Amino acid sequence: MPDGVQIQTDQVNEFAQDLRADADKGFASAADRGADLHAHGVVFGKSIPGDTVLDAKNRYAEALANTEANLREYRRMAVIFAEVAEQIARDFAHVDMSSEAAQLRVQALLDGAIANADAVQKGGQA
């Protein structure tokens, strides 16, 4: 194990695999539920006049939108965490890094993974 970095790479790798499995199952299931609710939209008070009901509908619409977006992002982040953990386990097993360098390295890995995922997502939307 490199000096200055105390990490059991096997277990980190195992963590990564578990998290990736969760992303494909549990996080995916929650995201699907959010998408289903989002697709149904606001289900009450279409023809009810007054600001009281309209306020409730606006709040519900925002709750749908934010919840669905969050659940979608959670799944994506779970994948990113899994990728970064796998990378950390690989890198830290062979590279001798000081604590400061390791800190920057982890941050860069996370940033890079997120940026990469963003680029893929934007490419898919284009």
Partner 1 sequence: MGADWDAYNLPAIWSMLKEENACTGADRVLSWEGLAHDVRTQHRRLLDAKESLAAVWSPDKNPSARIFLDRMDLLAASMNDTLTRAEDTRAGLRGVLEALGAAQAEVQPWVEVRQNATGDIIPRFVDHAEDEYDEKARQAMRRAEAAIADHGTQIQPPQLYKPTHPRDGPVRELSGDGAEGGTGGTGAGSSGGLNRSSGAQPVPVAVPHDPPAPDRFPDRGPADTGEPAGPGMPGDGIPGPSGGPDLAGVLPTPSTVPAAGGSGLVPSGAGTVPGGIGGPSAVIGGPGSFGVPPGVFSGSGVGGGMPVPLGRGAAQPGRQAVPVRSAMPSGTVIGSPGTGTKPGTAGRGAAAGRGAAGQQLGPQTAANRARRDAAGQESADGVADQTWEVLDGVTPVIAPDTRPPRHDPGPGVLGLHR
Please report whether residue 56 would count as binding partner 1 according to CB under 8 A: yes
Distance between CA atoms of 89 and 94, rounded to whole angstroms?
9
Total residues at interface with partner 1 (CB under 8 A): 87
Least distance to partner 1 from the beta carbon of 126, Å? 15
Contacts of 102 (CB under 8 A, 6+ apart): 4, 5, 92
Site for partner 1 in 66-105 (CB under 8 A): 66-74, 77-78, 81, 83-85, 87-88, 90-91, 95, 97, 99-105
| CA nearest neighbour of 75 among 124, 20, 10, 114 | 20
Q: Which is nearer to partner 1, 51 or 126 (CB)?
A: 51
What tokens appear for 64 in the block?
A: 């749908």
Using CB under 8 A, pick the residue from 3, 79, 112, 126 that binds partner 1: 112
Using CB under 8 A, pick the residue from 1, 3, 24, 27 that binds partner 1: 27
> What is the secondary structure of 55-116 as a DSSP string?
HHHHHHHHHHHHHHHHHHHHHHHHHHHHHHHHHHHHHHHH----HHHHHHHHHHHHHHHHHH
Please report whether residue 1 would count as binding partner 1 according to CB under 8 A: no
Using CB under 8 A, pick the residue from 3, 107, 124, 126 that binds partner 1: 107
Using CB under 8 A, pick the residue from 45, 79, 124, 126 that binds partner 1: 45
